[in-house]
Structure 1
């Protein structure tokens, strides 16, 4: 059985965010990077999160809570962020469960593309 990717597109993980997490491909758009970062949170890929965080705002470490379970992602809007642009934003809701309670992280994130790679910069 093929595991579906947590990013919400419905594709198998190995054909969706898996190649990004494994370093075989780079996310072509800001939204693709946002989705791959959500999947990295859901799957516990701390190294990928750090690698795709812009150096100017990157924390020294990411400590994911094993009790936090990411359940689904909603992309609400996007501006720019195409393969032909260098900046973009993605507004999203990331739903999760923690200590038996449902909650949501709502953010409009800024992304920049440098040297052909998209990076998460910060909330708007």
Structure 2
């Protein structure tokens, strides 16, 4: 009997297959809301997609370059809150688990997002 292989799960923790989740956004589909964009950005960090991260970073706060060399290994994401704060503004609070230098850690952030011309962008965030 031939066994079917399940598609790889999305790194964002949605429970969906990557191709049906963040993979769509990484291929160019717009995020429906700030949480979807935040999840896709986390997945981009996991997968090392620097071009996607730069493209979804607001031009007013976007860094000139992103360096993944020696960065952490991302292990999981928990979204704590998604709140619409205006017509084209939202915040997403999350905790991301990682391992770096043989040690486990957690990164907590309240991220700010804006929607410009129908697309969501990461602006900045307050790190715990």
TM-score tier, shorter chain, comes to over 0.9
| Residue of 42, 45, 52 corresponding to 2:49 | 45
2:96 equivalent in structure 1: 94
Superposition pairs of residues 13-28 of structure 1, within 5 angstroms: 13-23=18-28, 25-28=29-32
2:8 equivalent in structure 1: 3
CA contact (8 A) 1:73 1:94 kept: yes
**In the TM superposition, what is the alpha-carbon distance from 1:65 to its structure 2 partner?**
3.3
What CA RMSD, in Å, does the superposition of the two structures yield over aligned residues?
1.5
User: Which of 1 and 2 has greater Rg?
Assistant: 2
For structure 1, the 5+ residue unaligned runs are none
**In the TM superposition, what is the alpha-carbon distance from 1:85 to its structure 2 partner?**
3.3
For structure 2, the 5+ residue unaligned runs are none
Query: 2: CA distance between counterparts of 1:6 and 1:105?
Result: 16
Structure showing greater relative contact order (alpha-carbon pairs closer than 8 Å, 6 or more residues apart): 1
Query: 1: CA distance between counterparts of 2:17 and 2:71?
Result: 25
Query: 2: CA distance between counterparts of 1:57 and 1:15?
Result: 29
TM-score normalised by length of structure 1: 0.92
Query: 2: CA distance between counterparts of 1:78 and 1:9?
Result: 14
| Residue of 106, 109, 125 corresponding to 1:107 | 109
Give CA deviations for 1:39-81 in whole Å, capped at 9, x if unaligned: 0000100000000000000000111135521000011112117
The runs of at least 4 consecutive aligned structure 1 residues that moved more than 6 Å come to: none
Aligned residues: 121
